[in-house]
Structure 1
Amino acid sequence: MTGPLSGLRVLDLTSTFSGPYCTLMLADLGAEVIKVEPPGGDIARQLGAARTPGMAAVFLNMNRGKKSVLLDLKAPADRAAFDRLVPAVDVLVHNMRPAAAARLALTYDDVRALHPAIVYCAIPGFRGTSRHADRPAYDDVIQGASGIARLQSVNQEQPGYVVTPLADKITGLTASTAVLAALRHRDATGEGQRVEVPMFDTMVAFGLLEQLDGWTFDPPTGPPLYPRTAAPNRRPYATADGHLCVLIYTGRQWERFLTLVGRADLLSHPDYDTVGKRIANADGLYRVVAEVLRRRTTAEWLAELSAIDVPCAPLAGYEEILREEERDGSGLVSIVEHPVAGRLRSIASPIAMSASPLRAGRLAPTLGEHNDEVLAGGGTEGSSG
């Protein structure tokens, strides 16, 4: 396998979304990811559409490029096999609660005793030192607790969840970055370490980056809400025959757009004559955009706005995107043949690297598919088969 992380070995004890997304990023970059699954496998094997038992869509997409080892860590023989495997890897990742990790003797101290230089990454719902450390947490819970779900209610009556497991995937991305930083530290010092990336902390920090706004200052100068993204008229704009997504951002872009639509008078309006004022009063300008775009078709506006270099794109759904990918052949989505699940669409990494190019790895594994290869036939008696 090629890729910048070729030669790196990762022991993956994660399940569902947050941890598997972290290790997916590492696998896409060339790491050998060994997914240790309990009897019955990762629950994601049952999530979403499926043609074959244990090979549902979510698992197939989230675990491509990984190897699967089936071990019951409560069984002595399997635990011995696991303990022998630990010194042979560089990284261990799990997304258990602290108490669950302790019950399985998988704390940092337990693992470090087997491999002092290991990079150990824990992805809990809440920070291990907080009073919520052992509360169960999934994406919806964290979206709510971290402010993301309430943020969605700014322009609608009810709070709502983002319609993708955003907290899981943002935390997984953050954890993959943290793992790489810890590996850089180990390369420089020879020292392993414990890395913790809690979902709650990650999403609060993620959301507050711009939403902290007036609360950036002490005392606050305004509410913790960024006015541009909270503007009621910030939405895909209706055209004469559909919808268009437009973001006019810079002074030059506003000048070109407002001149094009005959509203150059707004360029000198006291509410809009600086960047700061345009952000603070964004909804007024967005209302003008909404009114104007209704007058012509999506295709007409795409041509007009592209000609003056204003960022825009037609509103698309996933089926449209997938059909366009199949037609244009960009390589982001391809048709592959899985030995068990059959003919599938496979998502490629969006990362392109010139000196260490990524190559499509193996497809998602069946449960325990790599026991013999990884464990060399040792420690697999009993439940692991």
Structure 2
Amino acid sequence: MAAAVAPTDQGPLAGLRIVESTAFIAAPLATMSLAALGAEVIRLDPSEGGLDHQRWPLSQEGASLYWTMLNRGKKSVTLDLRTEEGREAAARLVCEGDGIFVTNLPARGALAPEALLDRRQDVIVVTLDGSPDGATAIDYTVHAACGAAQMAGPAGLDSPVNNAVPFWDVIAGRTLAMGLLAAELERRRTGRGQHVALSLSDIAMETMANVGILPEAELSGEARPRQENWVYGSFGRDFETRCGRRFMLATVTGKQWRALLSATGLGTAMDRIGEAFGAPLDDDAERFRARHAIAALVQDWAGARDLTQIADAFAGTSVCWSPYRDAAQLLAEDARASPRNPMFARQAHPGVPPVLTPRTPLRLSAHPRLAAARAPDLGADTASVLGPLDTAGKEADP
């Protein structure tokens, strides 16, 4: 039976209020992800804006695209948390609401996790720090520490390679959101609150263990060498076309391998490579072992064709491939980065003309009409959010 569709577009987290004091990427991404699912997220900033309010890149009007895109769908309240009065007001906002607070900034006084839990036993405090040993860390330094920077780039390269996209922050943000929802689910079952803490460096260390890189080094005593653009343990690499464009190709399943042979007509030649290596190329390990010989054949085939011809040859098949693109080429060539993708709508934001703005990438059958949200004006919700606190305080006076 099909799932019932909600009568509104509020989302599955409608009615859940979260208060945040965050900066950089991971923590605001966590709360923005929850706002996209319907949570009411109240962002606290000083009146001049927080650390990221003018962070690059900027729109032509001077608005931070970084801040804008990480704070979509939130309410904005200006409150000076550098003062005890501001921290007390924020603590009341947390504890007189749904009792959920997210931060990756220093939380002192009334906003310290233990203070909030003393004030309300079922409060949920979610915090992010750099490292469990107390060291400062951001995505770039975590990437440097975990070994990944020494695995990327050409085989003869002596220097490390940074990520252009802060993937550790992104993973940490989604993990924070998962931790918050896990604590909320437990609170609904038990009535118990808790402090959920995460360190950015632990995200990288856990990931390196999860994908086998850390135990591989531990058991072998050696670090995995740079693989250039090869897919480790299977067959995959970048190839250049006749027109000078490059594309990535990977065959990590038998179905993908057979589709490649069919689309390129290289089946007989690949059988000869298998005979030369003493084993058919039916599994990942054998294809990896013969990767250089396989790649030479594929490069000859690709180098005789333009990218459009290769796209035509692979269209409608199970070949796993993609052209390499920069961001401008992505916008010009790929319908997935356009309003033709239902995830995107062109949305104007404060100081930002209409740009592609995603809704949640989750496709929920009960909430098919969730919309892409606008970023707030700094402080636009201060009066409506803090006003009830002032009223409550006055009503409590003798």
TM class, shorter-length:
0.7 to 0.9
Q: Where do 5+ consecutive residues of structure 2 fail to align?
A: 1-8, 392-398
Give the Å deviation of 1:358.
Answer: 5.3
42-51 or 282-291, which moves further after superposition? 282-291
The residue aligned with 1:209 is 210
Distance 1:284 1:111, change over 3 A: farther
Distance 1:177 1:303, change over 3 A: same
Number of the residue aligned with 1:376 = 387
Q: 2:298 aligns with which of 274, 282, 289?
A: 289
After superposition, the Cα gap between the structure-2 partners of 1:79 and 1:319, relative to the gap in structure 1 and judged at 3 Å, is same
Say if 2:234 and 2:288, in contact at 8 Å, map to a contact too: no
Q: Which amino acid aligns with 2:22?
A: T
CA distance in 1, matches of 2:219, 2:321: 38
Name the CA shift for 1:36/1:211 in 2 (closer, same or farther; >3 Å): same
| CA RMSD across the alignment | 3.0
Unaligned runs of 5+ in 1: 381-385
Partner of 2:140: 140
Q: Which residue of 1 aligns with 2:3?
A: none
Q: TM-score, normalised by structure 2?
A: 0.82
CA contact (8 A) 1:29 1:358 kept: no
Q: Does structure 2 retain, via aligned residues, the 8 Å contact 1:8–1:32?
A: yes
Question: Partner residue of 1:383?
Answer: none
- Which secondary structure does the structure 2 equivalent of 1:293 belong to? helix
| Counterpart selection for 2:256 from 236, 239, 253 | 253
Q: Secondary structure at the match of 1:335?
A: strand
| Partner in structure 2 of residue 2 of structure 1 | 10
Q: How does 1:233-312 map to 2 (within 5 A)?
A: 234-241=236-243, 242-258=245-261, 260-261=265-266, 262-268=269-275, 269-270=277-278, 272=281, 274-279=283-288, 282-306=291-315, 308-312=317-321
Task: Calculate percent identity across the aligned residue pairs.
Answer: 25
TM-score normalised by structure 1 residue count: 0.84
Instruction: Work out the CA distance in 1 between the residues paired with 2:270 and 2:290.
Output: 16
Change (3 A) 1:89 1:38: farther
Question: Is the Cα–Cα contact under 8 Å of residues 67 and 370 in structure 1 kept in the other structure?
Answer: yes
CA separation of 1:214 and 1:320: change in aligned 2, threshold 3 A: same
* 1:284, distance to aligned residue in structure 2 (A): 4.7
- Mapping of residues 31-180 of structure 1, within 5 Å: 31-47=39-55, 48-52=57-61, 55-87=63-95, 88-96=97-105, 100-101=106-107, 103-127=108-132, 130=133, 133=134, 135-153=135-153, 155=155, 157=157, 158-180=159-181
Number of residue pairs matched by the alignment: 369
Query: Contact 2:103–2:126 (CA<8 Å) still a contact in 1?
Result: yes
Task: Tell me if structure 2 keeps the 8 A contact 1:4–1:29.
Answer: yes
Closer, same or farther: CA 76–189 of 1 in aligned 2, 3 Å = same
Letter paired with 1:136: T
